[in-house]
Structure 1
Amino acid sequence: MPKAPPLSLPVSGLFGVVKPSGPTSMSIVHDLQQLVARSKLFVTDEKLEAMKKQKAGKGKKKGRQARVDGVKVGQGGTLDPLADGVLIIGVGKGTKKLGDFLNCTKEYTTTCLLGCETDTYDSEGKRVRVAPWKHVSEDIVREALKAFSGEIMQTPPIFSALKMEGKPLYEYAREGKPLPRPIEARKVTVHALELVEWKGQDHAFRWPEKSFSEEEKKAVEKALKGADENAEIKDEAEPSSAPDEVPIAFVLKMTVSGGTYVRSIVHDLAHAIGSAGHVVTLGRTRQGRFAMHATHEDDYACIPWKTFEEATKDLESGTPGETDADGWAEWERQVMGNLKIVEG
């Protein structure tokens, strides 16, 4: 049921979408923009009528059709293609509130695969280094997690878009240009961090097939040596390990402050237990009051992407989807039931 039924249409507001793993956040926003631009929930009758005339070839205007109505659509914190979960969407005046969600508390679940680290710190990247993993036990991980709780200093990865003297860090790494100075660590807060599932070797995850060439390794090493002369990228073979042996994986759940790199926690934790590791699954389960599953009275539940995907298919095919007696489509009903209205 709608938390705050709109008294007058159209409205501006915020709602949450359950982004699937695969598409980019911007592709999700683009598809939603097509729906929003044609909904009486967010667009005036006059603008909807103007769009119908445009579609019929009357009064054509230059520019993208999705912008005819002038309704802005944005998101409150990008999720990479690998990641799934809570993606907050702002419409109209709601876009002005999206910045509030960049630094709010967030919850994640992530799966770490040991024995290999990658340039992106996740399974989308290339293998940079391999290291022993057989010595790692569930107790060793639980003990190591204690050092990653509370206020911690976290160093962003060199393969990130953060800039140093106007140049993205990843460009230093790719070009083999020494960093002018060490990457500045930032203070973040890990409110809660726990091991929720020990998969051991019973899983289907594998290291990425692509790996860094010796040339690429030397380039990264040279970049890092600009800030740390002892920096070294070196494989450490697992003693008596079969090539097709499945490495250990485990699942973490964490509640963190804005600006925390989940991938860095996994990367640094793997180092702390004498191994290497990278993220193979990553899900954002809560961002502020928007959650995968509403557990508090003032929570807003997120809407499965499949609901919007089906509406988008209807739009692309030119076939009107089913509506209720009041003319609302299923996606509009679900949005109204979980919409935080933004006034003024």
Structure 2
Amino acid sequence: MPKISLPPLPLSGLFAIAKPSGPTSMSVINDVKQLVCNSRLFVEASKLEEKRRTPKRGRRAREVVKIGQGGTLDPLADGVLVVGVGKGTKKLGDFLDCIKEYKTTVLLGCETDTYDSEGVRVRVAPWRHVTKEAVEEQLVNFRGEIYQTPPIFSALKMDGKPLYEYARKGIPLPRPIEKRKVTVHSLTLTDWKGPNHEFTWPEKQFTDKEREAMEKALRSVQEDEEQAQKQTQTPSAFVLTMRVSGGTYVRSIVHDLGHALGSAAHVVTLTRSRQSRFALSPDEEADGAKGCIAWEVFTKAAEDEGAEDADGLKEWERAVLDKFEIIDENGNKS
């Protein structure tokens, strides 16, 4: 590999990871933190030396450098996860209210408590009447400025308590969940799968106790089981791509679309393909977008960081530098 000229160390800045589906965003950050906090690229030499001499356990051991994320992805979701290191953490707020792009697979006929396949069945509904043309006709109503209600199974807080706590514990909401205005810049049906897929409705259903708790929180849970259960064929699925403002819940768009179609729907796959200037498939020449680092780079380094190259860099460090956006002392890109 060609030799590189390193800027003054330690570095502060931003980079993006291609998060896989499965782990939580926080677990991804914690795993990356273990590497970052032992790297001369991001930690002052004196702090590294002190850390080696007097290793500490627990939280204090991870405070040698700040690291954070610019917008959580659900465990089900994969795609762009922006990471800030050092002074780069001060810029993470910019990624909460930026334009984002998503690709999601929608499965008809079933609604879940979380609005995705990780949840529990709340109700099933007829779906055979839903056609590709019907979906495209309804998408018009979900473009532009719209109002949407966040899922009750979300981390959004009401009176200091996450909404999901109300639902799980059967605590009545102090007031209805407030609708929020968001902007859907584009929304397109890109693949009508019909029954040609391997997705299935979640097997887990609410117990009587769980249903009662949900009803207490929401005060109404609709049922339409009998007619839907008669439809034994594989329910239809389709893929949507969208470009949306910060604060938009893709799960809510899918949930509300299901209702608009006279059916029910939930998310079975979700990919964040772009967040501001970081993208899974960047076009640096066209818009200056930066790519993402494959998650396998970090999992491999967690097992064995390997030897240093001619520049004194390990493989994962060089991968990060290749996608790194440096933030200087004044908080500017350099």
TM-score of the superposition, structure 2-length normalised?
A: 0.91
Aligned match of 2:296 = 306
Q: Structure 1 pair 128/215, CA: closer, same or farther in 2 (3 Å)? A: same
Deviations 1:258-315 (A, max 9, x none): 0000000000001000100111101111111011111133111111000111011115
Amino acid at match of 1:303: I
Does the CA-based 8 Å contact 2:29-2:68 persist in structure 1? yes
Amino acid at match of 1:67: R
Aligned match of 2:149 = 155
Amino acid at match of 1:312: A
Structure 2 SS opposite 1:301: coil
Aligned match of 2:332 = none
- Distance across 2 between alignment mates of 1:94 and 1:240: 52
| Identical-pair percentage | 63
Amino acid at match of 1:112: V
Shift of residue 221 of structure 1? 2.9
Does the CA-based 8 Å contact 2:70-2:95 persist in structure 1? yes
- Distance across 2 between alignment mates of 1:232 and 1:48: 55
Corresponding residue to 2:99 among 100, 105, 109: 105
Aligned match of 1:343 = 328
Does the CA-based 8 Å contact 2:171-2:217 persist in structure 1? yes
CA RMSD, aligned part only? Answer: 2.2
Q: Structure 1 pair 75/5, CA: closer, same or farther in 2 (3 Å)? A: farther
- Distance across 2 between alignment mates of 1:112 and 1:61: 47
Q: Structure 1 pair 48/126, CA: closer, same or farther in 2 (3 Å)? A: same
Amino acid at match of 1:51: K
Corresponding residue to 1:198 among 192, 197, 201: 192
Q: Structure 1 pair 224/48, CA: closer, same or farther in 2 (3 Å)? A: closer
- Distance across 2 between alignment mates of 1:139 and 1:179: 38
Q: Which runs of 5+ in 2 are unaligned?
A: 330-334
Amino acid at match of 1:341: I
Corresponding residue to 1:78 among 66, 72, 76: 72
Does the CA-based 8 Å contact 1:34-1:66 persist in structure 2? no
Shift of residue 23 of structure 1? 0.9
Q: Which runs of 5+ in 1 are unaligned?
A: 226-230, 316-320
Shift of residue 240 of structure 1? 7.9
1:22 equivalenced with 2:10 (yes/no): no
Does the CA-based 8 Å contact 1:221-1:233 persist in structure 2? no
Amino acid at match of 1:109: K
Does the CA-based 8 Å contact 1:5-1:336 persist in structure 2? no
**Equivalences for 1:306-325 in 2 at 5 Å?**
306-314=296-304, 321-325=306-310
Shift of residue 156 of structure 1? 1.2
Deviations 1:223-255 (A, max 9, x none): 333xxxxx4421243468454x31111111001
Aligned match of 2:42 = 42
Does the CA-based 8 Å contact 1:33-1:66 persist in structure 2? no
Aligned match of 1:333 = 318
Structure 1 SS opposite 2:247: coil
**Equivalences for 1:177-216 in 2 at 5 Å?**
177-216=171-210
Deviations 1:159-182 (A, max 9, x none): 223333444333333344443432
TM-score of the superposition, structure 1-length normalised?
A: 0.88
1:7 equivalenced with 2:14 (yes/no): no
Corresponding residue to 1:171 among 160, 165, 174: 165
Aligned match of 1:318 = none
Corresponding residue to 2:222 among 225, 233, 246: 233
